[in-house]
């Protein structure tokens, strides 16, 4: 059966001020697990998600890196039969400095349903992996470098497969949203 109602509705109109968009992500990344939610994120996209409901004793975990160190993207995947999905990708770049930190990296590598809440440098917050979660990708975690000044940061890359683009998250102003995220930390 052919699908004919998949048409854009409103369009996107930009004005000069809209061109002032900074690239990059904030240094803080918040993760949670789909299996720890008492209410799943709605995928209706009628408005930004404004709260998160966790099962008792669960919440977010905060990872801080250097400014401009993390990287996120969203890809469009299209199957031969025409089915489409969105592929959120996030690379957490952090500096483990203890055995406890090393264990955290190992636990992240085992994630099966992790979601990430990220703030871009335009004060927007997004939930990556909001429906099915993300898993860690195989690859190099850390280079120890051989010359002065080479990168020694640990990078854990995550990928998902979703029906929607990353969902927007907002509790009002940027300060209110950050305060809410911080209140969710375990």
Q: Are the C-beta atoms of residues 166 and 88 closer than 8 Å to each other?
A: yes
Write out pLDDT tens, residues 41-73. Answer: 999 999 999 999 999 999 999 999 887 789 999
Scan for tokens 């055995």, then name that residue: 99
Q: How far apart are CA 81 and CA 73, in angstroms?
A: 25
Q: Are the C-beta atoms of residues 153 and 93 closer than 8 Å to each other?
A: yes
144-150 average pLDDT score:
78
Q: What is the pLDDT of residue 73?
A: 96
Please report whether residue 143 resides in a domain.
yes
Q: What is the number of structural domains in the chain?
A: 1
| Range(s) of the domain holding residue 107 | 21-42+49-183
Please report whether residue 13 resides in a domain.
no
Could you say which DSSP state residue 18 is in?
G
Sequence-separated (6 or more) residues with CB below 8 Å from residue 74 = 86, 87, 88, 89, 128, 165, 166
Instruction: Provide the CA 176 distance to its chain's centre, in angstroms.
Output: 19
Q: How far apart are CA 11 and CA 96, in angstroms?
A: 45
Residue 21 has pLDDT above 70, yes or no: yes
Q: Both tokens of residue 48?
A: 């930004």
Q: How far apart are CA 156 and CA 147, in angstroms?
A: 23
Please report whether residue 10 resides in a domain.
no
Q: What is the pLDDT of residue 78?
A: 94
Q: Ramachandran region of residue 10, left (φ > 0), alpha (ψ -120 to 50) or beta?
A: alpha
Global confidence as pTM: 0.90
Please report whether residue 12 resides in a domain.
no
Sequence-separated (6 or more) residues with CB below 8 Å from residue 3 = 82
């Amino acid at each position: 059966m052919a699908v004919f109602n998949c048409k854009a509705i409103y369009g996107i109109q930009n004005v000069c001020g809209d061109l002032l968009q900074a690239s990059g992500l904030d240094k803080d990344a918040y993760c949670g697990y789909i299996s720890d939610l008492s209410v799943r994120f709605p995928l209706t996209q009628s408005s930004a998600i404004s709260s998160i409901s966790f099962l008792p004793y669960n919440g977010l975990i905060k990872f801080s890196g250097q400014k401009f160190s993390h990287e996120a993207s969203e890809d469009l995947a299209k199957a031969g039969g025409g089915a489409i999905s969105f592929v959120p990708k996030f690379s957490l770049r952090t500096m483990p400095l203890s055995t406890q930190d090393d264990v955290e990296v190992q636990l992240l590598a085992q994630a099966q349903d992790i979601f990430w809440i990220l703030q871009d440098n335009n004060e927007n917050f997004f939930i990556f992996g909001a429906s099915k979660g993300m898993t860690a990708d195989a690859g190099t975690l850390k280079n120890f470098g051989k010359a002065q000044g080479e990168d020694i940061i640990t990078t854990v890359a995550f990928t998902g497969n979703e029906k929607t683009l990353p969902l927007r998250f907002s509790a009002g102003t940027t300060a209110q949203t950050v305060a809410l995220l911080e209140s969710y930390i375990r």
